[in-house]
Structure 1
Amino acid sequence: MTGRCLIADADLELRSALRRFIEPRGWEALEARNAHEARELLRRARPDVVLLEEHLPGSPLSEMLPEWRASHPSVPLLVLSATPSIDGAVQAIKLGAEQFVPKPVEPPTLLRLMEHALEAQRTRALPPPDTAGGPEPFLGVSPLIRQLEATVRRLLDSDRALLLLGETGTGKGMLASWIHLRGPRARAPLVQLNCAGLAPQLLETELFGHERGAFTSAVQRKLGLLEVAHKGSLFLDEVGDMDPLVQPKLLKVLEERRFRRLGEVEERTVDIRLIAATHQNLVERVRAGRFRGDLYFRISTLPLRLPALRERPEDIPIIARNMLERLSDELGRPGLGLTAEAEAALCGYTWPGNLRELRNVLERAALLSAHPVLKTEDLDFNAALAGMRPDAPTASPPESDLSLTLREVERRHISRVLASEGGHVGRAAQRLGIPRSSLYQKLKSLGLSAKV
């Protein structure tokens, strides 16, 4: 447990001794000699915990505690007293102090009290993890998604790094959030950072933070996301795009749980779970010298591949209905739905943008359609994108036609033909070279629907 501590005490020796003790252990120390300085630092620096001298020059405790408790109710206050008494302790606790600590006190003892107070405050402040009502990453009935869910549930209690692999838009961020909220770190933060396109210095300062003066524009100290994510999870999206100069520093964090802010000499400790994600083939990037092999092996112990939508067309109607339910609430349009022909059209499209593109198509249709039940003509697919080759999968290659069962091949082909004919069974039957009655039988057996 680390954080920012305001030491409001007139005793220079105590302030200096405590600073020397806590800073090497990951804490940031702020010092105030009187009530005026303490008020200013409390307002400007927003400390995580305050050590307040009982008789701090400038204002009596009976004024400061109610004032500070009202303006910063979530900040634990520990009162230090050189003249301790039972009445003084009772008054301090009644006024909102977390602890009443007699002087002299050894720095290790004080540090433990600070950590306990901060841990108790954070536990009180955070609501129980909300594991219901959020996006569901495992909607569908396909074997691919059912297997993914079974694997993820086996890994929920693990604290090892996870590597989420999949094309753009397959829901890697949604899955990372789902895993965090159901894991042992659910009451701590989930901090997210997209590594794509960030220059080395910017990425480094985002991750590790910096000290004032570390570089030209560093006019004040900045906490890095590693510190913000302490005791929680750090989600690094597009980790395959991380600059090679930053990769060894991330590896050090994962191996030693230590890092340095830019411009700082002393190391800090941190406790996080890493969830990384990429749409790229990291093995190929390692071979090309663009991604460190040791970092790859560190983060890929538990890889999870998210299937593309085109690999599980039977899940598309279920996902689309769920998205429309959410859009109904968001847009204030009750009863949003799809005709059978529209569902068939969705199943026949290739979805290069996956879940993100599906939501985009449905939201656009819901906003522009005059009726709540969306028809095929309401769906505006991006034909240019559909002709593009989707992102290359990042783990094992996608299921090839040779690995599909005859039923799966037949289902996919019929879905595509139906979609191209706007869901019209008669025209689809002619293109397939079978009687309309035979196509109806196949639609029923394969769980597909279309218009007459």
Structure 2
Amino acid sequence: MLTSPAEEAALTATRTVLVVDDEPAMRTALTESLRRRGYVVLQAVDGRDALDRLDDAKPWLVLTDMKMPKLGGIALVREIKKRTPQTHVVVMTAFGSVETAVEAIKLGASDFLLKPFATDVLERVVSGLPGAGRDVTAPEGSRLASARPILSDDPAMRRLLKQVESVALSQATILIAGESGTGKELLARFIHSRSPRAQRPFVAVNCAALPDGLLESELFGHERGAFTGAIIRKLGKFELAHQGTILLDEISEMALPLQAKLLRVLQEREVDRIGGIAPVSVNIRVIATTNRPLDREVEQGRFREDLYYRLNVFPVTLPPLRERRADIPLLARHFVQLAASRNGVPAPLLSEAAEQELVKRTWKGNIRELENVVERAVLLAVDRVIEPMHIPIEPNSLSSPAQAPAVHPVSRVEIAPAGSLRDMERELIVGTLAQVNHNRTKAARQLGISVRTLRNKLREYRETGGEFCGNRIVGGR
């Protein structure tokens, strides 16, 4: 069963995160980041304060610093796991204290964050925790979608999801193919949340983001002293995913020597740490994604054939957005709500004309591109209605200069510095008028609004004291 935006909000609303840090600025930054993701966030100033709040707050996750007065991170982890073993703990530590973080992992902490870290790193760690993709307060047997739901009205897509949901109950390795931006990682999380391993770790590794040497250490881990800079033992992603699911994202980017080592892991379910003396057994479910056809990569000698067959147990191909156009309005309305919430503004309405504009695009960047375009429109729609004029022209959509209108209004309008969103809309309208020699009918058509709406906008600008000056309005409010 797929979730609606309302059900998604209900999911995250049940998850309370307790942020523990003696630095006020750090507590504030973490709180704001997590609240934007929809979590209920409470704060504690040290470990003792956190324990005092533990019973009443019943947090799903405790995010704690390691070095604090009164009660430090290690003692806090130990006490939390004694009182409420089901509570997740993620510890934050500076580079010089990594060994302490490893000790926290042994005591039951789910993960650690190395300071300083970016908000997207925090989000990845939190969203990868067991239970992040389902309602922890739901009755046993109820199965809800992942933290970010897969929304679809497209019959073919819904059939695919139903098929995948059935396979999720097995232990089969799954290979997800699809263009960039189609939601391959989201589907992998969906599979994990429907599997018997849903309460176990979900660990994602981007094979394209790391150089080969670092990727090997990330995947398989290393022993202390295995190479220069290996100051502590490091558990690899396979070990961290033990009893859970590991996602090998963009597997086609992995170098051939690493492919051979990966093949052994899949065959033997054992990991050899770099510098280790004995293999370590792992119990994992493997999901891999690729944006290139792996069979073609095999033909061209860039991917091992034996590894391909190991991964291709249950292949899934996600269709590009242009092949599921019925989903575009549904997804767009969903992204309107998310963007409004993320930016702290009221959610605007999506006009029918704007929907039609979105549906007819080719969406080379797929769902990721749609989300970005919608967020921009939300910020520009100061009158709380998204119109076609708030949607940028599609890149490279004009096949020849003869077919193209002179210029899309956004590209040549000079925006006054430090302007508000209303100023940007005003610049857009005035710049378009200038390009069509102040022909209101042409300007309205190009902007995707009625002549009457254009006339009302111009009257509003005059009433607030603005004056036309070339492609700009100066003065006024």
In 2: Cα distance, 1:133 partner to 1:299 partner: 23
Q: Give ranges in structure 2 of 5+ residues lacking alignment.
A: 1-71, 86-105, 111-128, 136-143, 400-444, 451-477
Contact kept? 2:146, 2:189, Cα under 8 Å = no
In 2: Cα distance, 1:237 partner to 1:375 partner: 36
Match of 1:273 in 2: 285
Contact kept? 1:170, 1:355, Cα under 8 Å = yes
Structure with more contact order per residue of length (Cα contacts < 8 Å, sep ≥ 6): 1
Q: TM-score w.r.t. structure 2 length? A: 0.55
Q: Residues 386-411 of structure 1: CA distance to partner in whole angstroms, max 9, x if unpaired?
A: 97xxxxxxxxxxxxxxxxxxxxxxxx
SS at match of 1:380: coil
Match of 1:184 in 2: 196
Match of 2:385 in 1: 373
SS at match of 2:396: helix
SS at match of 1:192: strand
In 2: Cα distance, 1:151 partner to 1:269 partner: 31
In 2: Cα distance, 1:202 partner to 1:344 partner: 46
In 2: Cα distance, 1:336 partner to 1:136 partner: 21
- Cα 1:257–1:199 change in 2 (3 A) is same
- Cα 1:133–1:173 change in 2 (3 A) is closer
**1:11-410 correspondence runs (5 A):** 70=76, 72-74=78-80, 129-130=134-135, 131-132=144-145, 134-137=147-150, 139-384=151-396
In 1: Cα distance, 2:221 partner to 2:190 partner: 27
Cα offset, 1:257, TM superposition: 0.6
SS at match of 1:186: coil
- Cα 1:69–1:96 change in 2 (3 A) is farther
- Cα 1:69–1:140 change in 2 (3 A) is closer
In 2: Cα distance, 1:386 partner to 1:183 partner: 46
In 2: Cα distance, 1:150 partner to 1:269 partner: 32
Contact kept? 1:351, 1:386, Cα under 8 Å = no
Amino acid at match of 1:190: F
Contact kept? 2:146, 2:190, Cα under 8 Å = no
Q: Give ranges in structure 1 of 5+ residues lacking alignment.
A: 1-65, 77-94, 98-117, 388-419, 426-452
In 2: Cα distance, 1:71 partner to 1:149 partner: 38
Amino acid at match of 1:214: A
Contact kept? 1:211, 1:262, Cα under 8 Å = yes
Bigger shift: residues 341-350 or 361-370: 361-370
Q: TM-score w.r.t. structure 1 length? A: 0.58
In 2: Cα distance, 1:284 partner to 1:198 partner: 23
Q: Residues 361-385 of structure 1: CA distance to partner in whole angstroms, max 9, x if unpaired?
A: 0111112331221100001144138
In 2: Cα distance, 1:74 partner to 1:381 partner: 53
In 2: Cα distance, 1:246 partner to 1:270 partner: 18
Q: Residues 47-66 of structure 1: CA distance to partner in whole angstroms, max 9, x if unpaired?
A: xxxxxxxxxxxxxxxxxxx9
Cα offset, 1:249, TM superposition: 1.1
- Cα 1:212–1:161 change in 2 (3 A) is same
Q: Residues 282-305 of structure 1: CA distance to partner in whole angstroms, max 9, x if unpaired?
A: 011101111011111111110111
In 2: Cα distance, 1:71 partner to 1:147 partner: 44
Contact kept? 1:352, 1:385, Cα under 8 Å = no
**Number of equivalences:** 288
Bigger shift: residues 144-153 or 280-289: 144-153
Match of 2:55 in 1: none
Amino acid at match of 2:306: D
Contact kept? 1:165, 1:278, Cα under 8 Å = yes
SS at match of 2:79: coil
In 2: Cα distance, 1:302 partner to 1:259 partner: 23
In 2: Cα distance, 1:344 partner to 1:335 partner: 19
Q: Residues 181-204 of structure 1: CA distance to partner in whole angstroms, max 9, x if unpaired?
A: 121111111111110153221111
Q: Residues 20-67 of structure 1: CA distance to partner in whole angstroms, max 9, x if unpaired?
A: xxxxxxxxxxxxxxxxxxxxxxxxxxxxxxxxxxxxxxxxxxxxxx99
In 2: Cα distance, 1:365 partner to 1:181 partner: 32
In 2: Cα distance, 1:119 partner to 1:72 partner: 6
Contact kept? 1:185, 1:233, Cα under 8 Å = yes
In 1: Cα distance, 2:384 partner to 2:174 partner: 40
Amino acid at match of 2:79: P
Match of 2:462 in 1: none
Q: Residues 423-446 of structure 1: CA distance to partner in whole angstroms, max 9, x if unpaired?
A: 799xxxxxxxxxxxxxxxxxxxxx
Identity across the alignment (%): 40
- Cα 1:72–1:330 change in 2 (3 A) is same
- Cα 1:126–1:134 change in 2 (3 A) is closer
Amino acid at match of 1:288: Q
**1:432-443 correspondence runs (5 A):** none
